[in-house]
Amino acid sequence: MLTVALPKGRIAEETLEIFEEIFGENFRFESRKLVLEMGKFRFLLVRNQDVPTYVAHQAADIGVVGLDVIEEQSLDIVKLLDLGIGRCKVAVGIRDDEELDWSRPQIKVASKMVNIARNYFSEKAMGVEIVKLYGSIELAPIVGLADAIVDIVETGTTMKENGLKVVETIMESSAHLIANKYSFLMKKSEIMDLYSKMGEVVNGA
């Protein structure tokens, strides 16, 4: 039995579609249920940012989560396969009537991805004060809570509609299959079997 942590929403749906293609059966959660058992698999529906936690603690053997979340949390997990779904980027945004002034000694940056934000500006040798937010990050520069934001950009619509523009791309992200280190050793053949079947689907083999 393999326990699989999936992030609620579109990525879970698209991952289950990959399973449907592999096994030729319907993989659907009943409404409001957070656990789905199907043959050799048990799926858990969790918050996106919690997927690496379930996997690192071995509450799930494997999981699917964005590279941005993996990078932000740097937990001890094995990264197996790029599923090519949930593509987005992590970018720096500012008000579209401003420019990012790299000569300033310090800027204030709002983000829910505080580690990625801090590392990025540290590498550029720019002093940064991070304001941790949990959502609606795009509001921060509008109301003067921050000079810039570090956030997920998918279509770019949210930034645009709130008078912001992307000035730097920090990283490209997409959903990856990850595994617990011990599960990967103990259940290697099951995990590798799934890995190669998923690989065939996502790489169109």
Summarize as ranges the residues that interact with ligand PRP (CB under 6 A).
135, 137-138, 151-158
Least CB distance from residue 178 to ligand PRP, whole Å? 18
In three-state secondary structure terms, 58 is coil
From CA 55, how far away is CA 59, in angstroms rounded?
6
From CA 81, how far away is CA 195, in angstroms rounded?
7
53 vs 158 by CB, closer to ligand PRP? 158
Least CB distance from residue 138 to ligand PRP, whole Å? 6
Least CB distance from residue 111 to ligand PRP, whole Å? 9
Least CB distance from residue 125 to ligand PRP, whole Å? 27
Contact 7, 51 (CB under 8 A): yes
38 vs 130 by CB, closer to ligand PRP? 130
72 vs 138 by CB, closer to ligand PRP? 138
3 vs 48 by CB, closer to ligand PRP? 48
- Maximum CA extent, the chain: 59
* Strand ranges of the sheet holding 35-38, from the earlier edge strand across to the other edge: 35-38, 41-46, 2-7, 62-66, 175-179, 78-82
